[in-house]
Amino acid sequence: MATTSPLDPTTVPNLGIPTFTQGLVVQGAKDWLVLSGQVGLKPDGSIAGDAAAQIDQCFTNIVNMLEAGGFSLDDLVFLRLYLVDPADIDALRAARNRVLGARKVPSTLLVISALARPEFKVEIEAVAAR
């Protein structure tokens, strides 16, 4: 089983976000799960409404993929989040905090001009290890 430890040395910036860490030391991992970017699509292929609903659906898809692979949220070691509208950053952070709680998962947030389909507002990639 892998153990993880947040890595936030004083020699790099502290962003003041309680659930953010600059890095995560992963020790003893033998199994890894690398997820493709999850968008706000429901299992039936429909799009989950506005940006907030799509963000929630992305995290639901991630949880479902983790469980299908025998992993859990505790195994997450990295997230890469893409938004097309910076106005949705607060909704994204709120959903992330709701789903992850106090877990410190290194992440990168990018605001980009578009995703693969114009109706997509968010896409989230995830990596898990155990």
Q: What are phi and psi of 68, to 5 degrees?
A: -65, -30
Across residues 19-29, what is the average pLDDT? Answer: 87
Question: Residue 71: which domain range?
Answer: 27-129
Asked if 23 and 106 count as a contact pair (C-beta separation under 8 A), the reply is yes
Count of Cβ atoms closer than 10 Å to residue 20 Cβ = 17
What CATH number is associated with residue 95?
Answer: 3.30.1330.40
Question: In which band, very low, low, confident or very high, does the pLDDT at 100 lie, cut at 50, 70 and 90?
Answer: very high
pTM over 0.85: yes
Asked if residue 16 belongs to a domain, the reply is no
Asked if residue 10 belongs to a domain, the reply is no
Asked if residue 21 belongs to a domain, the reply is no
Asked if residue 5 belongs to a domain, the reply is no
User: Long-range contacts: 48-51, Cβ < 8 Å, 24+?
Assistant: 50/121, 51/83, 51/85, 51/88, 51/91, 51/121, 51/122
Phi-psi region of 112 (alpha: psi -120 to 50; beta: other; left: phi over 0): beta
Asked if residue 124 belongs to a domain, the reply is yes
**Domains identified in the chain, total number:** 1
- Work out the percent of the chain whose per-residue pLDDT is above 70: 100
